[in-house]
Every structure is written in structure tokens, then in C-alpha cells.
Amino acid sequence: MRVVWSLIILFIGMVIGGFLVYQQQPGDIPVIVTEQIVLTIPKNDKEAEKQLLYMAASKGMLEEIHRQNVLRKR
């Protein structure tokens, strides 16, 4: 009988936990960034310019993410 009650309580806890997570605002959920930027040695000026533009855009995105406090510090 204890096993049945334990399973019922576990199920109710999972339902309540799922409901609470669902009720959170999208801004409240931390976003985990898993992408990496891989740069290679540019072969010509055009490729170097493209990499610099990509790095500047990535830096701008990270600054905006930190400005909006989307990521939480560990």
C-alpha cells in the first residue's frame, strides 16, 4: 500500500512541477548557449573581412544577451 501512495504522491508532484514550469514567463527561463565560434586562418582579404564581421555580430549578440540578463551567472 505504501508503494501505491508513494507513486500517487510522485505523480501529483510531477504534475504540479510541470504546471509551475509552464506558468513561468519565457524570460524567466535561462537560455544555455552551446554554440561555439570556429575561426580559421583567412586565405584572402574577403574571407578575413567576413570573419571580422561575424565576430562583431557575435559580440553584439552576446552584449545584448547580457544586457537583458537572459543568462544567469554560475
| Domain positions in the chain | 1-29, 31-74
Tens of pLDDT along 51-65?
888 888 877 877 877
Distance CA 54, CA 36 (A): 12
Using one digit for the tens of pLDDT, what is the confidence trace for 1-58? 888 989 999 999 988 888 777 776 565 556 666 667 666 787 888 888 888 888 888 7
Q: What pTM did the predictor assign?
A: 0.36
Closest among 31, 26, 24 to 66, alpha carbons compared: 31
Residue type for position 8: I
